[in-house]
Amino acid sequence: MKIQLLGTGTPTPSLKRMSSGYLVTVGDDTILFDHGTGAHHRYLETGQKLTDVTHLFLTHLHYDHCI
């Protein structure tokens, strides 16, 4: 299992701190938790394709957690 923090920051737009988001890789599964705008930006920096994501979990429906 590999866990990457895509953002641990604030919903306020910032170039330094991204909104919450987590990328978990377990075997062949790529799992995203709380994929807001900041987390999306950081995900793209990992070099992985969005089509590689097999599961998506949204913990709640605030804009900074689901886009």
28-61 pLDDT, tens digit each: 999 999 888 888 888 999 999 999 999 999 888 8
pLDDT band at residue 26 under the 50/70/90 scheme: very high
pLDDT of residue 46: 92
The answer to whether position 53 is within a domain reads: yes
The answer to whether position 62 is within a domain reads: no
The answer to whether position 67 is within a domain reads: no
3 in Cβ contact with 22 (< 8 Å): yes
Domain limits for position 51: 2-57
The one catalytic residue in 28, 29, 34, 64 is 64
d(CA 3, CA 29): 12
Based on the residue annotation, tell me whether 52 is a catalytic residue of this protein.
no
pLDDT of residue 18: 80
The answer to whether position 13 is within a domain reads: yes
Structural domains in the chain (count): 1
What value does the mean pLDDT of the chain take? Answer: 87
pTM of the predicted protein model: 0.81
